[in-house]
Chains A and B, each alone.
Chain A
Amino acid sequence: MVDFREINESLENSEERDAEDLVKVELITLSGLQEYEVEEGMTIKEFKEKHNLNEVKIVNEDGDVMRNNDIIECDSQFFISTPKKNG
């Protein structure tokens, strides 16, 4: 016989665990603030690929450029930038 109580409990626990593993990333862009929820431990490279930001530079609040291998460990705020070239 299926124990629905056990299934429900395991599902609730997994949701709680998933929620705990997510961190908030705020991107300040030319259009204003954009918010994302990403998995804790995601690298900057994975974040860029997931959100199609390969061409832009991600900079933290201190002005340091984030490298591909840098890890998003907690709620963070970043700026994004790219050169403006006209001809």
Chain B
Amino acid sequence: MKKWKNRWDSPRTETSAIPVSLKECKNVIYNIFAKPKYAKLNITKRAYIKLMCYINLIGDYEISGFGRIQDGTITDFKILKQEVKPAYVECDEDAVLEFIKSIPREELGEWELDWHSHVDMGTTPSGTDWDNYKNMSALRGYKQFPAMIVNKKQSFTLINYISESNHENIDLYITGEDITNSEIDEIYNFVKNDIKSNCTKTISIQSKPAYPIYNNYWNRSNTADEFDDCKCKSCGVPLLNSHELTTGLCEDCELAVAETIGGN
């Protein structure tokens, strides 16, 4: 008969290692009592229409970008180069870098709104979204920022992201200025061209009798594939020498993999 152990039966262990990184711990502590930056935000009609153009003109795909906030009012939205899918969207490191370089330094702090669409689905953040907010927080020096998810039904979620465990809702109000039909047309045409220039989607390679391996294979394009061969499989940096090209990993990632295997 199995005997239930009481808590005194368990072996006692002793350790001298501190199980958290001091830096991570400090960031958590800084944000415990941090007050939300915004209780409410306004959005101009021009900005709202631009946002609706992005999420409707992209069709059945998600789309993502950053928004500009000036004196408590969302005044503009921009998209980055991105790969769009029905339930996922990704802007790679180069696209984010290109965005940072394209904005005048003194304006960068204003482009603090992190936004994306959920097509026709609810606007609750997914696991991927929470991971993204955590990474974006690191990219912003752990400063809090507003994050917005919208869908085609014009439902939205807008929060102050302070930390993984601390986020507050923000109320949103549309400002009352007039906007003409020609201004709306101008925004519509701008967004249409912007999407054409910056958004790519996966395409199906047609099966060819000579290359049966490609049957039903989904990919961006063969040219992109060849280019990817020269980049690290793990982090995407260009590979520098024959050893890296052979392993497909940069020196740093190869070392990290070896450490992981060694640690296990």
Are A and B part of the same complex? yes
A-side residues, CB < 8 A to B, are 28-34, 49-53, 55-57, 59, 65, 67-69, 79-87
Nearest-neighbor residue (CB-CB) of B128 within chain A: A87
List of B residues within 8 angstroms of A69 by Cβ: 251-252
Whether a CB of chain A sits under 8 angstroms from the CB of B92 is yes
Q: Which chain A residue shows the least CB distance to B98?
A: A81
Query: Is B94 within 8 A of A82, CB to CB?
Result: no
Of A32, A56, A67, A86, the contact of B138 (CB 8 Å cutoff): A56
Which interface class (under 10, 10 to 19, 20 to 34, 35 or more) fits B? Answer: 35 or more
Which of the residues A34, A51, A68, A81 comes within 8 Å of B100, measured between beta carbons? Answer: A81
Q: Which residues of B contact A (CB under 8 A)?
A: 21, 23-24, 27, 62, 64, 66, 80, 82, 87-97, 100-101, 105-106, 108-109, 111-112, 114, 116, 126-129, 131-132, 135-136, 138-143, 235, 237-238, 250-252, 255
Chain B residue numbers with a CB within 8 Å of A83 are 90-93, 96, 135
* Structural contact, A81 and B138, CB atoms closer than 8 A: no
Measured CB to CB, the closest approach of chain B to A47, in angstroms, equals: 12
Given the complex, which residues of B lie within 8 Å of A86, measured CB to CB? Answer: 62, 64, 88-90, 116, 126, 128-129, 132
